[in-house]
Amino acid sequence: MASSLESGPDSKPPSVRDLSREDSRELLAVNWVKAQPSLTAFLIASTPQFSDAEDLLQEVAVEVARRFDDYDPSRPFLPWALWVAKIQVANFYRARQRNPVKFIGDSIDALGEACDRIQRTLSEEKWALEKCLTSLTGRSRTLLQLRYFDDLTPQEIGPRVGMTAGAVRIALFRTRSALMACVRSTLSGASGFHEQR
Amino acid sequence: MNNAEAIELIDAHLDRQPLTDEQSDALTAWITENPRQADEAFYRIFLHSYLRTRLQAGLLPATSEFSIQDDSHFHLPAMLESTSSTIDRPSLPVLRRPSSWIKNRIVITTSLFFGILGGLGWWGFHGLLNFGSQSDQLYAYEGFDYPGTVFPESHGQSAWPTSGGLQGLNKGIGWSQPWQETNSKVAVIADYSQPAMPWLEKDMRKFGPLGYTDSLGNVLQSSGNQMRTATSPRSITTRLLNIAAFPGSMRSEHGLGLDGSVIWLSFLAQSSLSTADNNRYSYLMIGTKETSGLRIGKLGATPSGNWTAAALQTGAEVNLRSSPFPSGEMVFFVARIIFRPGPEEATVWINPRLDTEPQVEQASMRLPVPDFRFDGVAIHANHSSDFDELRIGGTFQSIAPVTEPRKYGR
């Protein structure tokens, strides 16, 4: 898998090499920060241990910077960065002699395409999500803190909040789904506002 | 497999529950069935990713008057209605914090504290123990108390200067050299007692010079004029610190930031516009872009234009954290950097109370910064923004001094 990826997604005569050093770095910085949320999500899907995904993100950042001279600035950055990320994911599992997570391994391309499609709307999603997060209270808030800040699994969270692991899973599922519903509702309201302008 | 079952499996996978081969195959088939389902899957994955990033960065935002709880009635979207349930939205404001919530917050806070201590190791712990004995000294200060810049005339109109500006200005304490201007335009000293250039309609700086009063009415010490960056194309204004003026426990031969030390930094800032369209930026930087460092301010990579912080690694911005504060609003930034072996830990508060050291839970942004040292500050901008009251010290109190209360009345 990695060897076919190593050859690159496309041939690309114009490259970042044509830019000045300063412009090249600025281009990388701007592109990277825009792509980082999508890449993080992609890596978390690929290796659901958050700490692994964060390590991988750093490795992808280094690799993207190293290969950036090969990037064709006339093309979208995210697919190129995803290509680099896929190589790093493959290397990650190979180095640890582990098999890639099965469902991700089989659907990595579909998720990569979705990632590219969705990136365009992510800034609105984040804005709405931030608004919706202010609506979280009580147990939902506590469970999210334990899951994402303390990095505990539902099995580990259960005894801390007096719930079974199954009940924690269901509560987290409902909270996340409520957030998604809130995001959609917020965005549909916001789009009405923008259309009037 | 229906949509809800697929989403449940994605949640299970991201909650580190191993999926069976049958579940994996079914989920893969669902994701690859059509782009809409692939998008749904990725949105869910993004939600996990965002929650992780957001909670790691600065915990959850404060609650609003509405709430989502897991015992109320917020209808699920159609794709989820087949599962179970109704979710969480009481109709009344929920401001109560049940005792179990508070208990858990204490657990979280405590684990965070010990996490910090554990992460710091002996040097970090040593640094924290030394915290008090490092005194409340302010090691570097720049109040930009210089005469206002006189704008040159060009064809009968004032033009933005391309030389002069802050070049060579040399007041303040804790610096080893005067300010240097290193780009095609220069930053200037803004003097509100002099006639100003015409303001843009949305530029809120027209209401007065930078200053900060906290929610309790405490007023940050500030005086005199302020720095204003250039626009079209940019100004880069730098100044080296007198590292010898800092305690030995804070510095090494590579600069400030010896492992185990804690450095506080504060400044006031306000941009001419809140948006970051066209890659507008104006930020203060310590460390270097080429290796590693920290940027605080307005970054082109945050399209909302809100005040942001980002680490730098080999030329790229990484670990970017954005705040809810628009950059067109005046803010008081307070940053604490804990230097430790490996990545440093930066915490940034915006508009904290001045009477007490702010808590980590109140931070606007938290981010790891690749191992770095610094020996000066640089203020980069490609559009007009104001900066003032720059302080670097060893404690919060040293970089957030409060003025004596004014006596009102006759």
Cβ contact, residue pair A145, B299, below 8 Å: no
Is the ipTM above a cut-off of 0.85? no
Nearest residue in B to A44, CA atom: B49
Q: Is A125 helix (H, G, I), strand (E, B) or coil?
A: helix
pLDDT band at A51 (very low <50, low <70, confident <90, very high): confident
The secondary structure of residue A149, as a DSSP letter, is: I
Question: Rounded distance, CA B276 to CA B301, Å?
Answer: 8
Residue B120 half-sphere exposure toward CB, CA atoms < 13 A = 24
Which of A108, A129, A151, A174 to mutate against chain B (most B CBs within 10 Å)? A174
Question: What's the distance, Cα to Cα, between the start and end of chain A in Å?
Answer: 49
Tokens 């109320």, residue located: B72
Q: pLDDT tens track of chain B, all 410 residues?
A: 888 899 999 998 888 888 888 888 888 899 888 999 998 898 898 888 888 877 765 555 544 434 444 433 333 232 222 233 322 322 222 222 233 332 333 233 223 222 332 333 322 323 322 333 333 589 999 999 999 998 887 777 778 888 899 999 999 999 999 999 988 889 999 988 877 667 777 788 888 889 998 888 888 998 889 999 998 788 999 999 999 989 888 888 889 998 888 999 999 999 998 887 778 899 999 999 888 999 999 998 887 889 999 999 888 888 899 998 999 999 999 999 998 888 899 999 999 999 899 988 889 999 999 999 999 999 999 989 999 999 999 999 999 999 865 443 33
Burial A119-131 (b: 16+ CB within 10 A, else e): beebeebbbbbbb
pLDDT on residue A122: 72
**Per-domain boundaries in chain A:** 2-119, 123-196
Nearest residue in A to B115, CA atom: A150
Question: Rounded distance, CA B87 to CA A158, Å?
Answer: 20
CB A48 within 8 A of CB B13: yes
Question: Rounded distance, CA B351 to CA B344, Å?
Answer: 23
For A120-150, the pLDDT digits (tens) are 777 677 778 877 888 887 788 889 988 888 7
Distances (CA, A) of B8 to A12, B31, B82: 41, 13, 12
Which among B21, B24, B47 has CB closest to A176?
B47
Task: Write out the E strands in B4-124.
Answer: none
CB B178 within 8 A of CB B165: no
The secondary structure of residue A17, as a DSSP letter, is: G
Q: Is B308 helix (H, G, I), strand (E, B) or coil?
A: strand
CB A5 within 8 A of CB A108: no
Sign of CA dihedral B17, B41, B44, A38: positive
Question: Rounded distance, CA B197 to CA A71, Å?
Answer: 43
Which among A49, A101, A182 has CB closest to B68?
A182
Nearest-CA distance B35 → chain A (Å)? 7
H-state helical runs in B59-98: none
Question: Rounded distance, CA B394 to CA B300, Å?
Answer: 31
pLDDT on residue A189: 63
Of all residues in chain A, the percent with pLDDT exceeding 70 is: 80
Record the tokens describing residue B248, joined without a space: 């030995």
Please, what is the Cα angle at A189 between A186 and A195, to 5 degrees? Answer: 135
Nearest-CA distance A11 → chain B (Å)? 25
Burial B155-182 (b: 16+ CB within 10 A, else e): eeeeebbeebbbeebeebebbeeebbbe
Cβ contact, residue pair B318, A170, below 8 Å: no
Question: Rounded distance, CA B41 to CA B83, Å?
Answer: 16
Question: Rounded distance, CA A68 to CA A51, Å?
Answer: 25
Cβ contact, residue pair A178, B15, below 8 Å: no
Cβ contact, residue pair A138, B67, below 8 Å: yes
Cβ within 8 Å of residue B150, ≥6 positions away: none
Question: What's the distance, Cα to Cα, between the start and end of chain B in Å?
Answer: 77
Residues of chain A with Cβ-Cβ distance to B47 below 8 Å are 129, 176, 179-180
State the greatest distance between any 2 C-alpha atoms of chain A, in Å, as a whole number.
Answer: 61
Task: Provide the angle, in degrees to the nearest 10, between the axes of the packed helices B35-58 and A102-119.
Answer: 90
Residues of chain B with Cβ-Cβ distance to A147 below 8 Å are 15, 51
Which among A114, A171, A176 has CB closest to B35?
A114
Burial category of A63 from C-beta neighbours within 10 Å (exposed 0-12, middle 13-18, buried 19 and up): middle
CA B127 to chain centre: 23
CB B291 within 8 A of CB B314: yes
pLDDT on residue A6: 35
CA B267 to chain centre: 12
Cβ contact, residue pair B63, A134, below 8 Å: yes
So what's the architecture of A2-119 in CATH? Orthogonal Bundle (1.10)
> A-contacting residues of B 283-342, CB under 8 Å?
289, 299-304, 310, 313-318, 320, 324
Nearest-CA distance A73 → chain B (Å)? 16
Give the right CATH number for A123-196 from 2.60.40.10, 1.10.10.10, 3.40.50.300, 1.10.3720.10: 1.10.10.10
Specify the range with the lowest mean pLDDT, choosing from A27-36, A176-185, B13-22, B391-400: A27-36
A118: amino acid identity, one letter? I
Residue B156 half-sphere exposure toward CB, CA atoms < 13 A = 0
CA A124 to chain centre: 15
Residues of chain B with Cβ-Cβ distance to A164 below 8 Å are none
- Asked if B107 has any chain A CB less than 8 Å from its own CB, the reply is yes
Map B96-158 to HEC letters. Answer: CCCHHHHHHHHHHHHHHHHHHHHHHHHHHHHHHHCCHHHCCCEEEEECCCCCCCCCCEECCEE
Record the tokens describing residue A29, joined without a space: 């910085």
Cβ contact, residue pair A107, B300, below 8 Å: no
pLDDT on residue B137: 81
Residues of chain A with Cβ-Cβ distance to B318 below 8 Å are 32, 36, 58, 61
Total beta-carbon pairs less than 8 A apart between chain A and chain B: 265
Question: Rounded distance, CA A118 to CA A134, Å?
Answer: 23
Q: Cβ–Cβ contacts within 10 Å for residue B292, how many?
A: 21
pLDDT on residue A195: 32
**Per-domain boundaries in chain B:** 3-80, 121-399
User: What is B121-399's CATH topology?
Assistant: Jelly Rolls (2.60.120)
Question: Rounded distance, CA B74 to CA B84, Å?
Answer: 12
Judged against a pLDDT cut of 90, whether residue A118 lies above it is answered with: no
Nearest residue in A to B48, CA atom: A41
Q: Which residue has the higher pLDDT, A25 or B404?
A: A25
CB A42 within 8 A of CB A115: yes
Nearest residue in A to B25, CA atom: A103
The secondary structure of residue A150, as a DSSP letter, is: S
Residues in chain A: 197
Of B70, B100, B17, B44, the residue nearest A166 (C-alpha):
B17
Nearest residue in B to A140, CA atom: B69
Q: Cβ–Cβ contacts within 10 Å for residue B405, how many?
A: 9
CB B1 within 8 A of CB B7: no
CA B323 to chain centre: 6
Nearest residue in B to A177, CA atom: B76
